[in-house]
Amino acid sequence: MNEKQFQDALKEHGINLNEQQLKQFYQYYELLVEWNNNMNLTAITDREEVYLKHFFDSITAAFYYDFSSEHFSICDVGAGAGFPSIPLKIVYPDLKVTIVDSLKKRITFLNQLADELNLTNVAFYHDRAETFAKNKKFRETFDLVMARAVARTSVLSELCLPLVKVNGDFIMMKGPNITEELETGKLAIKTLGGELKDNNRFNLPFENSERHIVQVNKKRKTPNKYPRKPGTPNKEPIE
């Protein structure tokens, strides 16, 4: 997917990028490749692949969810090199974005990226999601919490739902074979105060790979015992 195809594909979904935004995406790509020479940010460095599998793929959440509200806060758990929240922030500059990631080097990259792209209302935290969600400053404060290809549903729910405010939402961006995973993750979603709302399936253009945007609504407060200690959700998922 070249820049023109990227622009046109987004336009089909009602997203019109201006010159400044196109420039920010190009700067993002250049910085990603530059930093990737010294640290492992991504296995994908080909320009057209980055535009398709990182930038466009990140923005697909906006085809099914409204990011245009004012003062809207999102938390991206395990964002790595900033996906999906930074591409969404470029498209929707009014978003208030918080990223939590367990690797300090990635946080350093994200701070540099935010400076280069002149992004405001962004905050990056070097922390484990389990610890971050126990912090009263952040717990149950976000309108939306997102995660892209981080862990299976039962684990992700415990890492993310404690951060979502009641009546807020949790979005998982997933690949194929999600049906069984959602089935085994049902108990975790319910236990943590959530309710499955939507599972939107589509194919990524050009390569036709299957994608899912799964939306969970937060109906009730998460019990105080969750999330459990770092590493426990993965070792002993709620299933």
Question: What residues form the annotated binding site for S-adenosyl-L-methionine?
Answer: 78, 83, 129-130, 148
What are the phi and psi torsion angles at 146 (to 5°)?
Answer: -125, 150
Q: Binding site, residues? A: 78, 83, 129-130, 148
Q: How many residues would you count in the chain?
A: 239
DSSP-assigned letters across all residues of the chain: --HHHHHHHHHTTT----HHHHHHHHHHHHHHHHHHTTS-S-S---HHHIIIIIIIHHHGGGGTS---STT-EEEEET-TTTTTHHHHHHHSTT-EEEEEES-HHHHHHHHHHHHHTT--SEEEEES-HHHHTT-TTTTT-EEEEEEESSS-HHHHHHHHGGGEEEEEEEEEEE-S--HHHHHHHHHHHHHTTEEEEEEEEEE-TTT--EEEEEEEEE-SPPPTT-S-STTHHHHS---
